[in-house]
Amino acid sequence: MSQWKQIQQLEIKYLEQVDYLYDDNFPMDIRQVLSNWIESQDWDTAANHESMATVLLNNLLSQLDRQCSQEQNFLQRHNLKIINQQLQLKYKASPLLMASVISTCLREERRIISTASIQEQGPLEKSLQN
Amino acid sequence: MSQWKQIQQLEIKYLEQVDYLYDDNFPMDIRQVLSNWIESQDWDTAANHESMATVLLNNLLSQLDRQCSQEQNFLQRHNLKIINQQLQLKYKASPLLMASVISTCLREERRIISTASIQEQGPLEKSLQN
């Protein structure tokens, strides 16, 4: 199951933690629309290699363009168009920053999923692990 | 038919004009989620009366809160929460500005609908009108 699908199955108290990860720096709409592609890229490495970060940013923008042109829903299309413009303004001159933001979000998501799965275990399972 | 429904039935060239009306000052998500309520308020008067503008802003924020708590979709709920925070930051000290922004958007929508309906008429209907 993709990381993003696991996130969406969390209890509300964990979802509220996920809420804090997403804002204009990395809008949740992108995380959802391009979830599989995002999870299959190496953002940790890109956060330290400008040429790789630039390629990933350009790929992300062209995928957003494609999604936008295929989207039938007016509101969704409008939002994707605005996000595309905002990301270009924000990251065209600093693609490393975008890679670093996405890398941090994905790592924090994994931390939240892991915390949730530990808390879900009963006392017996926890003691068997220790 | 509500004004917002009429907007969504326009051809793509008119929808692109509508796109320009909506940004962070008045996110399209609100226009859609609260469309009936928005169309039934007198924003033109509120844009010149601070106490009325304040009441409308508070009503809008509590309705957004309610929508947010009822929304089942995680992404939608997240977006409404962010919009609520942004509107509070932007307009709590200047509710007249919010009323003026919404009043302008609604007026521009009517202008676009009217232009579209004139363009759709054939030459005979146009000459009969003149």
Ordered structural domains, chain A, with CATH: 3-129 (1.10.532.10)
Among chain A, residues having any CB pair with chain B shorter than 8 Å are: 8, 15, 19, 22-23, 28-29, 32, 74-75, 78-79, 81-82
**Taking CB atoms and an 8 Å cutoff, what residues of chain B touch A23?**
82
A108 near A114, Cβ under 8 Å? no
DSSP string, A5-34: HHHHTS-HHHHHHHHTT-STTS-HHHHHHT
Q: What is the pLDDT of residues A87-96, one digit of tens each?
A: 999 999 999 9
Tell if the CB–CB gap between A32 and B82 is shorter than 8 Å.
no
Mean pLDDT on B89-93: 96
Confidence category of residue B130, pLDDT binned at 50, 70, 90: low
pLDDT at B59 over 90: yes
Mean pLDDT on A100-122: 93
pLDDT at B82 over 70: yes
Tell if the CB–CB gap between A75 and B19 is shorter than 8 Å.
no
Supply the pLDDT for residue B119. Answer: 84
Closest CA to A40 of A24, A59, A18: A59
pLDDT at A98 over 60: yes
Supply the pLDDT for residue A119. Answer: 84
ipTM of the complex, rounded to two decimals: 0.86
Supply the pLDDT for residue B129. Answer: 59
- Across chain A, mean pLDDT equals 93
Q: What is the pLDDT of residues B21-47, one digit of tens each?
A: 999 999 999 999 999 999 999 999 999
Share of chain B above pLDDT 70, in %: 93
Mean pLDDT on A7-11: 95
State the residue for tokens 């957004």: B64
Tell if the CB–CB gap between A29 and B82 is shorter than 8 Å.
no
A interface test, pick of B78, B105, B112 with most A CB neighbours within 10 Å: B78
Confidence category of residue A120, pLDDT binned at 50, 70, 90: confident
What does residue A42 show for φ and ψ, rounded to 5 degrees?
A: -95, 85
Half-sphere exposure of B5 (CA within 13 A, CB side): 3
Mean pLDDT on B7-30: 95
pLDDT at A127 over 70: no
Half-sphere exposure of A105 (CA within 13 A, CB side): 27
What are the residues whose beta carbons fall under 8 Å from the beta carbon of A43, sequence distance 6 or more? A56, A99, A100, A102, A103, A106
Confidence category of residue B120, pLDDT binned at 50, 70, 90: confident
B interface test, pick of A74, A80, A84, A112 with most B CB neighbours within 10 Å: A74
Mean pLDDT on B5-29: 95
Distances B7 to A14, B80, B115 between C-alpha atoms, Å: 38, 22, 12
A10 near A112, Cβ under 8 Å? yes
Confidence category of residue B125, pLDDT binned at 50, 70, 90: low
> Using the 8-state DSSP alphabet, how is residue A80 labeled?
H
pLDDT at A125 over 90: no
Tell if the CB–CB gap between A8 and B81 is shorter than 8 Å.
no
Closest CA to B34 of B78, B80, B75, B85: B80
Provide the token pair at A16: 């509220």
